[in-house]
Amino acid sequence: MFRIYKSEKDLLVPADTLLPYTWVCLFNPSEEEISYIEQKFQILPEFLRYPLDEEERPRIEKEEQQILIILRIPDVVSKGLFIRYETIPIGIILTEENIITVCLKDHPIFEEFITIANKSKTFNLVKPVYFILNFILAVTSLYIKLLRQIDRTLEEYEEEVFRAIENEEILKMLSIEKTLTYFNTSLQGNDTVLIKIQSGRYIRLTEEEIELLEDVQIENRQAIEMTKVFLTIVAGTMDAYTSIINNNLNLIMKFLASIAIILAIPTIIYSMYGMNIPLPFQELPPFKGSPHAFILVNVLTFLLCLFVFFVLRKKRYL
């Protein structure tokens, strides 16, 4: 499928036909649509197909009068208990008169970019470089927005993790770590594309566009730094959790060992009664010939257990 937009009074509005100086937003295209756009704009076939490869890395290419810029943008892959993001490629093709974007899906970044563009009321597709730089800025802003959400989520998860006895919270942290890893790799690739654009080998930039490009680079590097910081936080939290789990396990084992020691005392004493031997003290006065010797044994056993209990408590085993 594809949508067409044109500039009208510095606003991006839908268009009905493929005119010069329009933006063609191509997403999840069929082979017929790819062939149609290819013939209509005389675009190199590989330029339309590269962004449809999920593993395509960020880069910039120039062939004849056509420029292909491939970026990676965040994309949610799971919702519910574990919200996880990966990244998918998006291609921006710049021809002499048109801009074509190619993506695997109708990503929310398109509508978000149009909203931002129409609020600023400064967009004109006659200036394609200005359009491209602002689109990259919108992509970077989306990364920063999601990273701030991840920051808030991390604070919630950190409190849950240290109280957790099940694996649910750990899986949440691992999901965030995987998301941040994808973000870090993609942002690094996008930064390489920005550096190549800045070199001027692919696109000629005006002073205004150079200033805008520098702003985009600052935002992108801020996103990279945020990602690295959050990765460090996640790794530190997981390490701390592992140490706490090991410590708690040691405390549990000490407690169980102490209980086993205390319970072993009456077990040893009472096991002797099954050997058909005389009870202790039963031949001594005043218990001689009396059945109450068993009570004395119970009392002494209890006192011995109590003594061991306090000894273990003093040594912090209980």
Range of the domain at 117: 2-246
Residues 16 and 149 in one domain: yes
Q: Quick: pLDDT tens for 22-46.
A: 899 998 888 998 898 888 888 888 9
Q: How far is CA 20 from the centre of its chain?
A: 41
More confident residue, 159 or 139: 139
Q: Write down the pLDDT at residue 273.
A: 66
**DSSP one-letter code for 292:** T
Q: Could you tell me which residue, 52 or 252, shows the higher pLDDT? A: 52
According to DSSP, the residues that pair with 99 across neighbouring strands are 23, 94
The candidate with the shortest Cα–Cα distance to 143, out of 92, 179, 91, is 179
What's the full length of the chain, in residues? Answer: 318
- Residues 134-153: pLDDT tens digits? 999 999 999 999 999 888 88
Contact 68, 95 (CB under 8 A): no
Residue 139 is encoded by which pair of tokens? 């992509």
Residue that is last in its domain, among 189, 218, 246: 246
Whether residue 222 is found in the same domain as residue 260: no
What is the domain count for the chain? 2
pLDDT at 82: 66
Q: What are phi and psi of 296, to 5 degrees?
A: -60, -40
Q: Is the peptide bond before 286 cis (omega within 30 degrees of 0)?
A: yes
Q: How far apart are the first and last CA of the chain?
A: 68
Task: Read off the pLDDT of residues 250-259 as tens digits, 9 standing for 90 and up.
Answer: 888 888 888 8
Distance in angstroms (rounded) separating the CA atoms of residues 145 and 296: 74
* Residue that is last in its domain, among 189, 223, 246: 246
Please tell me whether residues 96 and 227 are part of one structural domain.
yes
Q: What CATH number corresponds to the domain at position 120?
A: 3.30.460.20
Range from 3-7, 260-264, 270-274 carrying the lowest mean pLDDT = 270-274
- The mean predicted confidence, pLDDT, of the chain is 84
Same domain? 279 vs 190: no
Measured CA distances, 192 to 195, 212, 273, 318 (Å): 5, 16, 83, 58
Point out the domain boundary residue: 246, 281, 298. 246
Specify whether 234 is located in the same domain as 305. Answer: no
In the predicted structure, residue 108 carries a pLDDT above the cut 80: yes
pTM of the complete model? 0.78
